[in-house]
Structure 1
Amino acid sequence: MIMAAASLVVTVFIYMGANWLYRYKPILILSPLLLTPTVLVILLLATHTQYNTYNSGAHWLSDMLQPATIALAIPLSKHFELVKKHAAEILISVLTGSAVAVASSLWLAKELRLDPNLIYSLIPHSATTPIAMAVSQSIGGVPTITAVAVMITGIFGSLIGPSIIRMCNIRNDVARGVLLGTSAHGAGTSKAFEFSSITGTVSSISMILAAVLTLFITPWILAVCF
């Protein structure tokens, strides 16, 4: 019980410290999404702590993702008319992005001559974890590897997404939201809300659409390309 409480408290304090550092000096290596898991892994290895022991308390943070996802309905209700107005653009953009993500992952993995099981595990990396793992399992992949790929995609996308937005001078809230939500799912949506409430709302919708569309288009793309 003490260890469970300690792991929860330590995780929160490490994240708060990383967040403070990133605000003080906003450089890539100090991003809380990158620094927090790195420090935690080093700490667990240094103290010879098993992951199950650590997760006995830290899992409460993961469990909060479900109500946090539901809470995204609040900004959606505020910007419903705007989302409705741009529904066609959002749907087409997310469909295109999801298809490109699956097809490009498949092409690159084949070019690298990866094992088929690994290829199937990496293909749905742009969907949210539960759906990505389900897609992976249904097409013959390894869900655990898929979960890691999803995590890396989310972190990497949320880190480079803002830079791409600045370089391309993307000022439209809807466009920024689609970019972050489609490419970096939950982590991207968290970053999107830093731009504006509208960007975050569109990102959350794009994240959900990308997951659903990936579920349907992946078998079709595999049938065409394999």
Structure 2
Amino acid sequence: MKSDPKERYLAIDIGGSHIKSTILNMDGEMQIEYQKITTPKNATPDQVIESIATLIKDFSEYDKISIGFPGFIKNGVVQTAPNLNNKAFKNFNLSQAIASKFNKPVRLVNDADMQGLGVVSRVGLEMVITLGTGFGTALFMDGKLLPHLELAHLPVRKGMDYDDFIGDKALEADGLEKWNAKLKEVLETFSAVINYDSLFLSGGNAKKINFDLDKNIKLVGNRDGIKGGMFLWKEEDGYCVRTVNPI
């Protein structure tokens, strides 16, 4: 895809606790200060869209919109939203709704996928894990985004998936020491199962890790990951990423 060197991208990271946004240039550099707003509790699609409108009302001009969403996305349509109003988001075409609301082309992917595009080294098999309200994952081969797997919903204990096991609610219930012990177990499991070359840990709870990480594991921040909103437009329009235009 040929891009205008002056293009600017509105990058939006929708999280269970906050919605974050900035505008990026073609080099992934922030053109305005990184902004955030609280995500409404049990948020519906309309509430998320209105929150975005409030957040960006004073933003400067942009050409395209990139969105990271905390759930499974298929062809721009939300399939799951476990940390928002899951029922309201089921089969909701969020990319089309946002494209039409703001009259710009949209690319919508899982939030860990977009974060990963901003932080991976683009060498070998790389994994991104986000530790926030829930547990997010993304996989890349030599920098190419691979089809998304909702590994957060694999069972880890009876009646418990990884979202339950290591997400915000687990941290609150278990306390920091127990949560770290569980996280160490999780990282060992994914190292054995995925056999990644590099792992990047992001999200608000990544800063709470209190044990030494393997040499091929790196901590990265949300501000590093949001530049994935620029790289998202360098991906081929296809199975993993689809452009949705305003109607």
TM-score of the pair, normalised by structure 1: 0.26
Q: Decide which structure has greater strand share.
A: 2
TM-score of the pair, normalised by structure 2: 0.24
Q: Decide which structure has greater helix share.
A: 1
Point out which structure has higher relative CO (alpha carbons under 8 A, 6+ apart).
2
